[in-house]
Structure 1
């Protein structure tokens, strides 16, 4: 009789292991693991929820513009489909932040941007002519002594930037005068 009980017990154990391994429906387990990794805001919902959607555009000059929208969101898939060219950078119960890199200079730069030089020789972009304007972004320091007089005067007055091509051209023209580049060449 003991032998028979052992055989039945081993059989039940083997059947249970077989069921767990091959036949158990994992959908409940998968659903639970999905909801722990992703916020509730991305679950499929029959009723949309109102969320703040922030669209960040990052321009080559470093400027970031934000557009804030309020949208009815069913799930993350509707957001991904609507904003295919955007990357989701942050998401929580109340808002979704999407970002897109724009291969152009910012509207601010096109309207009022000037390349100029600071007192210490740093090439910067100014919001307006460099004399009394705020710096939007700084790039690198140049050796003013090696810069030709005409170019130095242009930078003091301000070089307007209207296109990405002008932006790239000015930076490329000034890179050879960069102090970091000269230090690498001389080994100091």
Structure 2
């Protein structure tokens, strides 16, 4: 923490009771590879209180204008929960799509599947897309298709 406090050393010249304002960027990295950013302005009355508020976050970058903090979330992203589908690209690659696979944007690619080993119903399921509802289902689905990997 000493490094974090030294950036604000010049502020100690100000009156001790005057707060400082910093732009804070909160980066959240999710299990599905999605990185979200939240930007806000914090009024900091006490550095001790500030660091206490962001306990569990790691400092990525900081300067006199902003502090960038990052946290690894043990969950899938809100985007994936809202509209994520596990599916298969035309080349047989297991992928995550935002929206159903036929017209959707790919946000993560896993591995090439041996389509010949897949049961017909599993192929159809992947072509339509399997909605991803939560972290446990996400992990279970990825594990379920690993035996069909070409790697």
Q: Give the TM-score range, shorter chain.
A: 0.7 to 0.9
Q: Does 1:100 align with 2:71?
A: yes
Q: Using the alignment, how far apart are the partners of 1:55 and 1:144 within structure 2? A: 40
Q: Is the 8 A contact 1:117 1:130 kept in 2?
A: yes
Q: Which residue of 2 aligns with 1:137?
A: 108
* Residue 87 of structure 2, aligned match among 93, 116, 130: 116
Q: Using the alignment, how far apart are the partners of 2:42 and 2:141 within structure 1? A: 41
Q: Does 1:64 align with 2:35?
A: yes
How far 1:177 sits from its partner (Å)? 1.1
Q: Which residue of 2 aligns with 1:158?
A: 129
How far 1:71 sits from its partner (Å)? 1.1
Where structure 1 has 5 or more consecutive residues not aligned to the other structure, the ranges are 1-33, 181-188
How far 1:61 sits from its partner (Å)? 0.6
Q: Is the 8 A contact 2:84 2:132 kept in 1?
A: yes
Query: Greater CA deviation, 72-81 or 148-157?
Result: 72-81
Which structure would you say has the larger Rg?
1
**Where in structure 1 do 4 or more consecutive aligned residues deviate above 6 Å?**
none
Q: Which residue of 1 aligns with 2:55?
A: 84
Per chain length, whose mean CA-contact separation is higher, i.e. which structure has more relative contact order (CA < 8 Å, sep 6+)?
A: 2
SS where residue 90 of structure 2 aligns?
coil
* TM-score (normalizing by structure 2): 0.87
How far 1:49 sits from its partner (Å)? 2.2
Q: Which has the higher helix share?
A: 1
Where structure 2 has 5 or more consecutive residues not aligned to the other structure, the ranges are none
Q: Which residue of 2 aligns with 1:14?
A: none
- The two structures, once aligned, show a CA RMSD in angstroms of 1.9
Q: Using the alignment, how far apart are the partners of 1:178 and 1:76 within structure 2? A: 50
Q: Is the 8 A contact 1:59 1:103 kept in 2?
A: yes
SS where residue 123 of structure 2 aligns?
helix
